[in-house]
Amino acid sequence: MQAPNEKVSQLSQLASVNEMMDSSNVRLLRHMLNNLTPADIADQIESAPPKARRVLWDLVDKESEGEVIGELNEEISGEILNEMESHEVASLTEGLDPDDVADILQQLPEKVIPEVLQAMSAQDRHRVEAILPYNEDTAGGLMNTDTITVRPDLTLDVVLRYLRRHEGLPEITDSIFVVNREDTFLGILPIGKLLTSSPNITVREITATEVEAIPADMSDSEVAHLFEKHNWVSAPVVNEENKLLGRITIDDVVDVIIEDADHSLLGLAGLSDVEETFASVGRTTPRRAVWLGINLMTAILASAVINIFEATIDKVVALAILMPIVASMGGVAGSQTLTVVIRGMALGQITRNNLRWLLSKEFAVGALNGMLWALVMGCVAALWFQDPMIAVIIAAAMVINLIAAALAGAALPVILKACNIDPALAGSVALTTITDVVGFLSFLGLATIFYGS
């Protein structure tokens, strides 16, 4: 952990780098930039406008480039990597963990990857090739191959002497993996037990065999859920034959949690998770235009529903004033449910077994809130327009729309996921359409029935 004085010093350096961006003293800027940690250098690059990013990248020391590229978001790192030659990429990956190298290679065109692998040392190439077959959003894509393994028949004294032959243990090593001669995973040997147990006993006697290894094809979100559930620091990864492939550490899981949170936050606004603050106008406009176009079509659908009741609105002008209230209340109620359900799905809490209970609960919540605020709005409308009929109409419409919004908010994420559509990205647009259409249809439909008779 950094001392307070070191943190203050780093913050002042960050501020100084921002100030130096506007100056022409390149030498001083290079010095200040390279005195930062790789993560802070990446923050400076990501926080700079597009034209300044390339300038900052060119000022980064060669020996730090690999660590910095690993901290950048995929879009910016992809732009930088695509401008580099194969041997430059190979040089940049020296000293990086195999999982970080695999992440870098997956951003390159397929025809370039073999050239980069060929430029690596045989040992590094073998480790990276063990990870490349797996998608980056799986346990196999997250894992690192820097594992230390021991056999169950060894004594702890032999294990300790074996460990002393290493220059150091891999980072975040809280346990050693126990395997047989065929590399089949048997359990873990916690470092704490290794250090405190008698050196004469065997590994088998203190191996924790109840620990389940993570399948290599498990999604990264499920891996993050397991780490959170079991408070793991690291975990073994195995193939279908239960042979040890590598391990996942908590630092990689934190990255997954942050990425999932970003994805959900941006998705609820109809934005892709590659959206970044300082992206160029040319990149940002088409990405946002797609969902704006979809939203426009749904808005036209809602307007078409209003148009059906044009005669009723002309007859009772108050309907036009109150109409947005019904749709707005439904939209808020639906968004509350949608957010809770998407979060529950992300945490793996929602299954077929509890879905019916969830729908019943949301129906009850929607009905109770609908009756509460229908009563309030009915009183307001009656006093506002001196018309008891319109109070009854808006109260009934609000109850209908809040119930529909609650059910839609609960069911939509499940339906979209079943159709392989991202609920975080498409859920809010679909929900807005439903609450607008149901709100207008119920309010104006009831008004037509009551005032038309």
Give alpha helix (H) positions in 106-155.
113-118, 122-131, 139-142
Residue, of 361 and 3, whose pLDDT is higher:
361
pLDDT in tens, 71-92: 887 778 878 888 888 777 777 7
pLDDT bin (cut points 50, 70, 90) of residue 8 is very low
Residue, of 168 and 3, whose pLDDT is higher:
168
- pLDDT at res. 266: 64
Mean pLDDT to the nearest integer, 46-71: 82
pLDDT in tens, 414-425: 898 888 887 877
Give the percent of the chain with pLDDT over 70: 88
DSSP state letter for 23: S
d(CA 76, CA 84): 13
- Dihedral over Cα of 124, 125, 128, 130: its sign: negative
pLDDT for 302 beyond 90: no
Beta pairing partners, 178 = 150, 187
Residue, of 228 and 107, whose pLDDT is higher:
228
In the chain, ranges of CATH 1.10.357.20 domains? 281-452
The topology under which CATH files domain 281-452 is Tetracycline Repressor; domain 2 (1.10.357)
pLDDT for 4 beyond 50: no
Tell me which of 67-71, 159-163, 406-410 is least confident.
Answer: 67-71
- pLDDT at res. 280: 65
pLDDT in tens, 176-219: 999 999 889 999 999 999 999 999 999 999 999 988 899 999 99
Instruction: Give phi and psi for 247, each to the nearest 5.
Output: -145, 155
d(CA 103, CA 23): 35
Q: Coil, strand, or helix at residue 185? A: strand
DSSP states of 188-205: EEEHHHHHHS-TTSBHHH
- pLDDT at res. 263: 67
Give the percent of the chain with pLDDT over 90: 30
Would you give the distance in Å from CA 211 to the centre of its chain? Answer: 27
Residue, of 17 and 294, whose pLDDT is higher:
294
Which of these CATH numbers, 3.90.180.10, 3.40.50.2300, 3.10.580.10, 2.60.40.10, describes 149-267?
A: 3.10.580.10
Rg, Å, the chain Cα set: 29
pLDDT for 371 beyond 50: yes
In the chain, ranges of CATH 3.10.580.10 domains? 149-267
DSSP states of 340-408: HHHHHHHTT---HHHHHHHHHHHHHHHHHHHHHHHHHHHHHHHHHHS-HHHHHHHHHHHHHHHHHHHHH
Domain 4-142: homologous superfamily in CATH: MgtE N-terminal domain-like (1.25.60.10)
When mean pLDDT is compared over 39-53, 231-245, 301-315, the highest value belongs to 231-245
Q: How far is CA 337 from CA 230, 365, 436, in A?
A: 28, 10, 16
Tell me which of 101-105, 170-174, 180-184, 309-313 is least confident.
Answer: 101-105
Structure tokens at 365: 């919540």
Could you give the angle at the alpha carbon of 53 between the alpha carbons of 30 and 107, nearest 5°? 115
When mean pLDDT is compared over 17-26, 171-180, 340-349, the highest value belongs to 171-180
Check: pTM over 0.75? Answer yes or no: no
pLDDT for 7 beyond 50: no
Residue, of 404 and 26, whose pLDDT is higher:
404
Average pLDDT, the chain: 83
Residue 185 near residue 213, CB atoms below 8 Å: yes
Structure tokens at 446: 């009831």
pLDDT bin (cut points 50, 70, 90) of residue 292 is confident
Mean pLDDT to the nearest integer, 407-430: 85
